Amino acid sequence: MADQSISEARTPAAPEPREGAAAPTDREGISRRRLLGTAGATGLVLGAAGGAVGYAAAPAEATPLSSVGEGRAMFHGKHQPGITEGLPARGHLIAFDLAPGAGRKEAAALLRRWSDTARRLMAGEPSADGDTGVAQDAGPSSLTLTFGFGHSFFARTGLEKQRPAALDPLPDFSSDHLDKARSDGDLWVQIGAHDALVAFHALRAVQKDAGSAARVRWQMNGFNRSPGTTTRPMTARNLMGQIDGTRNPKSSESDFDQRIFVPANGAPAWMANGSYVVVRRIRMLLDDWEKLAVKEQEAVVGRRKSDGAPLSGGTETSEMDLEKTDSAGNLVVPINAHARITRPDQNGGAAMLRRPLSYHDGIDPDGVPDAGLLFVCWQADPLRGFVPVQRKLDRGDALTPFLRHEASGLYAVPGGAAENEYVGQRLLEG
Ligand SMILES: C=CC1=C(C)c2cc3[nH]c(cc4nc(cc5[nH]c(cc1n2)c(C)c5CCC(=O)O)C(CCC(=O)O)=C4C)c(C)c3C=C
Ligand SMILES: [Fe+2]
């Protein structure tokens, strides 16, 4: 589902397995696998009651899983996993550069290894060799792994002719303070799960698979609210305390696919059903932000802090009245409010699917928190998504003075791998 709530919170409450409950029989396992197969076609993450899979399926003494542990996303499908699911409680973003001397052949072998690892781990199974055992009690926990290619990948592999124009470097923005060492990269991997150990396990497996073919360029770690924290699904909050994600495109909307995914007959052909992801490490200047009164914070965004409703009234999902004025004739939603000026109807239809992680990397020596948002947004074309909106924000957004863009990346994320295929095979073997 394409929203900012935690996927698990949308799963109907499943009874917790009784302590010491027997492991599922083969029969239960088969029917569950069938059920999972059907769900995969629609891109759902399952977290309902049923037999455990993978690590927990074999021995009678296997740890019973809760519905959070059982949640499972499908690796194979039309699109890669990790795009339309609810936000993971834990996430890692990691970029690699191909090692000196490594080219197309080594890259193809690496993507084959990564795809095999992703398929296994997302099913709750151990990796092919040398599994660390870190995730063995936890089930898949809605783990997703998503793979992308950066601009520099194509020259490194002699595939320049296959490089999409949409991967051209993002323009400079006046408010950028970008650290090149923590930006870009030949290859990009996104890992998300509702359990921190499951996510770390996947991260370590991906790093080990890279072997001598690729080296880590940068890594970032983030989090969202844990599933099950609230009894009803809620849009997530960010570290400024705002409800963030309300107006994300919904997969039920008729133009969702057109906005987020490259069409099946799109160009280049290897990007069919793929998407482009923009990643920005955006530090929040929290000391400044927290000095504002709640009313002032609300004017910056244009929405109420308590429930995310537009300042023009109603509830979180009410339409924002952009023309409404108060008794003094002032606009109720200020002209530079973030939620006003980022709207598609204010940006020639530009839209994106935001799927961020919060981060907190400690406290600087001067006492300033190194915290903010790993802003991850998906679109069919960055020139009709991130770029025009960021240009607008750069020119004058009430939120911009409280933010610092510190790192940036743009990656081409190919469509999902079919059975017996690895991610990116159509590029690397086409
Ligand atoms: C270039 C794109 C965007 C950046 C960068 C960005 C940073 C950013 N945003 C928030 C908090 C909120 N954003 C909200 C809405 C919103 N933001 C963008 C784009 C960028 N935000 C869009 C396209 C939208 C939706 C516009 C619409 O369709 O109406 C909101 C309001 C609630 C919501 O709809 O999600 C908040 C809050 C932060 C904190 C931040 C950087 C750290
Ligand atoms: Fe925003």
Indicate if ligand 1 lies below 6 Å from the C-beta of 281: no
- 212 alpha carbon – ligand 1 mean position (Å): 39
- 393 alpha carbon – ligand 1 mean position (Å): 10
Q: Is residue 172 part of a domain?
A: no
> What's the confidence (pLDDT) of residue 58?
53
Task: Give the range of the structural domain holding residue 149, as residue numbers without chain letter.
Answer: 7-167+180-230
3-state DSSP helix/strand/coil percent for the chain, to nearest 5?
A: 30, 20, 50
H-state helical runs in 234-379: 256-260, 286-289, 294-301, 338-341
The residue to mutate among 173, 247, 384, having the most atoms of ligand 1 within 8 angstroms of its beta carbon, is 247
- 141 alpha carbon – ligand 1 mean position (Å): 28
> What's the confidence (pLDDT) of residue 61?
73
Distance CA 49, CA 190 (A): 27
Count CB atoms within 10 A of the CB of residue 368. Answer: 13
- 379 alpha carbon – ligand 2 mean position (Å): 15
> Could you tell me which residues come within 8 angstroms of residue 424 by beta carbon, excluding any fewer than 6 positions away?
108, 111, 147, 149, 270, 414
The burial class, CB within 10 Å (0-12 / 13-18 / 19+), for 356 is: buried
Protein residue closest via CA to atom 22 of ligand 1? 342
> What's the confidence (pLDDT) of residue 396?
87
> What's the confidence (pLDDT) of residue 284?
98
Q: Is residue 344 part of a domain?
A: no
Indicate if ligand 1 lies below 6 Å from the C-beta of 303: yes
Indicate if ligand 1 lies below 6 Å from the C-beta of 403: yes
> What's the confidence (pLDDT) of residue 54?
47
Q: Is residue 254 part of a domain?
A: no
Indicate if ligand 1 lies below 6 Å from the C-beta of 117: no
Distances in Å between the Cα of 111 and the Cα atoms of 170, 198, 297, 427 are: 26, 21, 45, 11
Indicate the pTM of the whole model: 0.89
- Walk along the chain (430 residues) and give the pLDDT tens digit of each residue: 444 554 443 333 333 332 223 233 222 232 233 233 333 333 344 443 333 344 445 555 778 999 999 999 999 999 999 999 999 999 999 999 999 999 999 999 999 999 999 999 999 999 998 899 999 999 999 999 999 999 999 999 999 999 999 999 999 999 899 999 999 999 999 999 999 999 999 999 999 999 999 999 999 999 999 999 999 889 999 999 999 999 999 999 999 999 999 999 999 999 999 999 999 999 999 999 999 999 999 999 999 999 999 999 999 999 999 999 999 999 999 999 999 999 999 999 999 999 999 999 999 999 999 999 999 999 999 999 999 999 999 998 999 999 999 999 999 999 999 999 999 999 999 8
Count of structural domains within the chain = 1
> What's the confidence (pLDDT) of residue 430?
86
ipTM exceeding cut-off 0.95 for this assembly: yes
Task: Let me know if 287 is a catalytic residue.
Answer: no
Count CB atoms within 10 A of the CB of residue 249. Answer: 22
Q: Give the domain CATH number at 186.
A: 3.30.70.1030
Which of helix, strand or coil describes residue 324? coil
Q: Is residue 185 part of a domain?
A: yes
Q: Is residue 222 part of a domain?
A: yes
> What's the confidence (pLDDT) of residue 21?
30
* Phi, psi dihedral angles at 25 (to 5 degrees): -75, 170
Count CB atoms within 10 A of the CB of residue 226. Answer: 16
Q: Is residue 64 part of a domain?
A: yes
Question: Which amino acid type is present at position 263?
Answer: P
> What's the confidence (pLDDT) of residue 132?
94
Q: Is residue 211 part of a domain?
A: yes
> Could you tell me which residues come within 8 angstroms of residue 257 by beta carbon, excluding any fewer than 6 positions away?
263
Here the tokens at position 37 are: 């197969």
Q: 136 near 54, Cβ under 8 Å? A: no
Count CB atoms within 10 A of the CB of residue 80. Answer: 26
Indicate if ligand 1 lies below 6 Å from the C-beta of 320: no
Q: Is residue 214 part of a domain?
A: yes
Indicate if ligand 1 lies below 6 Å from the C-beta of 374: no
Q: 58 near 96, Cβ under 8 Å? A: no
Distance CA 87, CA 193 (A): 9
